[in-house]
Amino acid sequence: MKSRKIVITGGPSTGKSTVINELKNRNFPCFDEVSRDITKEAQKQGIEQLFLEDPLLFSRKLLEGRVQQYHEADKLDEPIIFFDRGIPDVNAYLRYSKQAIPEEFETITREHPYDRLVFIMPPWDEIYTNDAERYESFNQAQLIHNKLVNYYKELDYYLIFVPFGPVGKRVDYILDSIKKHS
Higher pLDDT, 64 or 139: 64
Q: What is the mean pLDDT of residues 63-74?
A: 95
Q: Do 150 and 104 form a contact (C-beta atoms < 8 A)?
A: no
> What does the pLDDT look like over 132-170, one tens digit per residue?
444 667 788 788 899 999 999 999 999 999 999 999 999
Q: For the chain, how many structural domains are there in total?
A: 1
CATH number of the domain where residue 80 is located: 3.40.50.300
Residue, of 42 and 72, whose pLDDT is higher: 72
Q: Give residue 127's domain range.
A: 4-180
Mean of the per-residue pLDDT values of the chain:
88
pTM over 0.75: yes
pLDDT digits (tens, 9 = 90+) for 6-35: 999 998 878 899 999 999 999 999 999 887
